[in-house]
């Protein structure tokens, strides 16, 4: 059982380049999220989705776009990367039943923007 | 808006000593509160959660936390630290739709 899988795990970009991070979950979860983790700032929510075809903004959405065309996949895109987007990105998913906050996380994608 | 504050970015203990990691919450309604743990180069995993069923919550690996409304606290404790407990710990509160707001994290260092 793979759980939540993120690709790629590492990426180096130049300022202005674009890229897409892919998150796939095999637990049939309705909710999916993208967080970024920066030293001393904890995890901050970028975008989330409450079901296939839906997306919503989180706390720090600027500079990112997302799509949820299939229930099992949640894509995070950077159209024009900036050094401020250097971070570790985590995808997570959760059940719709019981609003209990148990999220299942991927292992992270480390992005460096030069 | 709901939020959590973790006191202390680093906590150092000796193996066998008590572990105490502090978390205070700010919420206008009864909150759902959580502790997550992150081991090096891994994602976060749930340690324990408070959903109003009981104020003392037991989690995995011998950790527990007590919800104290009068102090707006949800501190994480473990009676005896083990080397394998060295990790970063995050307190979090649920904003709804399972959207979690995380604290800034506390790195636990355990020395032999």
Average pLDDT over residues B31-37: 91
What is the band of B23 on the pLDDT scale with cuts at 50, 70, 90? very high
Of all helices (H) and strands (E), which one includes residue B57?
A: strand B56-58
Q: How far is CA B82 from CA A98, B28, B85, B110, in A?
A: 33, 36, 5, 7
Closest alpha carbon to A31 in A15, A20, A47? A47
Query: pLDDT band at residue B51, thresholds of 50, 70 and 90?
Result: confident
Three-state helix/strand/coil letters over A55-67: CEECCCCCCCEEE
- Tell me the chain B residues in contact with residue A102 when contact means C-beta distances shorter than 8 Å: 34, 46, 49, 98
- What backbone torsions phi and psi does residue A31 show, to the nearest 5 degrees? -90, 140
B100: nearest CB among A50, A103, A106: A103
A101 CB neighbours in chain B (<8 A) are 32, 34, 49, 92, 94, 98, 100
pLDDT of residue B103: 94
Asked if B90's CB is within 8 angstroms of A42's CB, the reply is: yes
Q: What's the sign of the alpha-carbon dihedral B44, B46, B51, B56?
A: negative
Higher pLDDT, B98 or B71: B71
Mean model confidence pLDDT for chain B: 91
Tokens of B35: 């502790």
Single out the residue of A69, A19, A74, A11 nearest to residue A46, CA to CA: A74
Indicate if the pLDDT at residue B24 is higher than 80. yes
- Residue B27 pLDDT grade (very low, low, confident, very high; cuts 50, 70, 90): confident
Please give the pLDDT value at position A24.
Answer: 97
In this prediction, residue B52 carries a pLDDT of 77
Contact between B7 and B64 (Cβ < 8 Å): no
Q: What is the pLDDT of residues A54-112, one digit of tens each?
A: 999 999 999 999 999 999 999 999 999 999 999 999 999 998 765 566 899 999 999 99
């Amino acid at each position: 059982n793979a759980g939540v899988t993120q690709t790629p795990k590492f990426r180096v970009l130049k300022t202005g380049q674009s890229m897409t991070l892919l998150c796939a979950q095999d637990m049939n979860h309705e909710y999916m999220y993208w967080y970024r983790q920066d030293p001393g700032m904890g995890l901050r929510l970028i975008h989330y989705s409450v079901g296939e075809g839906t997306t919503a903004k989180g706390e720090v959405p600027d500079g990112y776009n997302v799509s949820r065309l299939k229930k099992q996949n949640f894509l995070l895109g950077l159209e024009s990367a900036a050094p401020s987007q250097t971070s570790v990105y985590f995808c997570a998913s959760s059940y719709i039943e019981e609003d209990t906050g148990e999220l299942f996380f991927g292992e992270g994608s480390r992005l460096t923007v030069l | 808006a709901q939020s959590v504050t973790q006191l202390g970015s680093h906590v150092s203990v000796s193996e066998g000593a008590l572990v105490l990691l502090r978390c205070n919450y700010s919420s206008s309604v009864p909150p759902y509160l959580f502790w997550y743990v992150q081991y090096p180069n891994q994602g976060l995993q749930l340690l324990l959660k408070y959903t109003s069923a009981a104020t003392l919550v037991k989690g995995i690996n011998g950790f527990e936390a007590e919800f104290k409304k009068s102090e707006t606290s949800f501190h994480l404790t473990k009676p005896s630290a083990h080397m394998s407990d060295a990790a970063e710990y995050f307190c979090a509160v649920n904003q709804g739709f399972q959207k979690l707001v995380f604290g800034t994290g506390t790195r636990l260092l355990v020395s032999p």
